[in-house]
Amino acid sequence: MSNEQRENLDAILRQSAFPAVSDVNEQRRQLRELLSAQPLPADVTVTAAVLGGVPTAEVTVDGIEPRHTVLYFHGGVYVLGDAFLAAELASQVARRTSAKVISVDYRLAPEHPYPAAVDDALAAYRALLDNGTDPSDIAFAGESAGGGLAVATLVNARDHGLPLPAAAFVMSPYADLTLAGITMETKRKADPLLSPEALQPRVTDYVSGNDAALGLISPIFADLSGLSPLIIQAGTHEVLLDDATRLARQAALADVEVTLEIVPGVPHVFQAYHPILDEAAAALDRAGRFLSAHLA
């Protein structure tokens, strides 16, 4: 990966940084505009569906016969984004795992605060099992809030006595909504996208009076014992870096198989920039091999 690639990406992202304003609808509009400007590859098909009463977007890639299923959770700090806007990154996971990806369109705060997202994620996974999909043929994946939600769903499924999926891939997980990570301050200048000031109003929207340290809100504080193997990736230029490192540490202390990859000089959910960042495609390749090794 060249310094020029990283510098160009940083400059682009600083022009579209997550704004520290309180208007959710304006933030949603800006994100939709940004992501919609990136067309899907011609070989990717996205189909609206429903799983367990929860809307989903089913993502398939032409020429790939799906042998597995990836349940995907989009990012957006629990208030932004949707399953369809995440389809391009989700399709990259599909390519590397010979899978159909089901992107979960979980309900968003502030209209639907916690536990709506957690309930929807578990309902979708439970329906996948009820429909006859073997858990050994399922992996979870998610970015940012979706990475945190993927881990929370593992915890929730375990606590409900459900069999767990084969593995999970989390990108730049938003795993501590108390915003206590040390990199909230130490990486403030390096992060071109996020800041504690931008995150705090959205925490309030989602938590809605609950304790932000609850395990299903901030899985860094959950009992992680017995969870599926995890691969966690993050960049050094993000305020959420400490969320990833502490989540990996907590998983390891709970005897979970965990692979932590920290990529220098790259931003939050750097994998999304694979067309212009060599290390992003390489990281996706490694995650694909990890998931494929654990899937049936």
Task: List active site positions.
Answer: 144, 238, 268
Residues 6+ apart with CB under 8 A from 251: 224, 227, 230, 232, 258
- Let me know: does 261 contact 231? Beta carbons within 8 Å: yes
Q: Which residues contact 238 (CB under 8 A, 6 or more apart)?
A: 172, 183, 187, 190, 191, 193, 194, 267, 268
Q: Take residue 287 and report the two structure tokens written for it.
A: 């995650």
Q: Answer whether 254's CB lies under 8 Å from 225's CB.
A: yes
Tell me how many degrees the CA angle 107-111-114 measures, rounded to the nearest 5: 60
Say if residue 241 is exposed, middle or buried (CB neighbours under 10 Å; 0-12, 13-18, 19+): buried
Q: Which amino acid is at 39?
A: P
- C-alpha–C-alpha distance, residues 290 and 153, integer Å: 20
At 186, which amino acid appears?
T
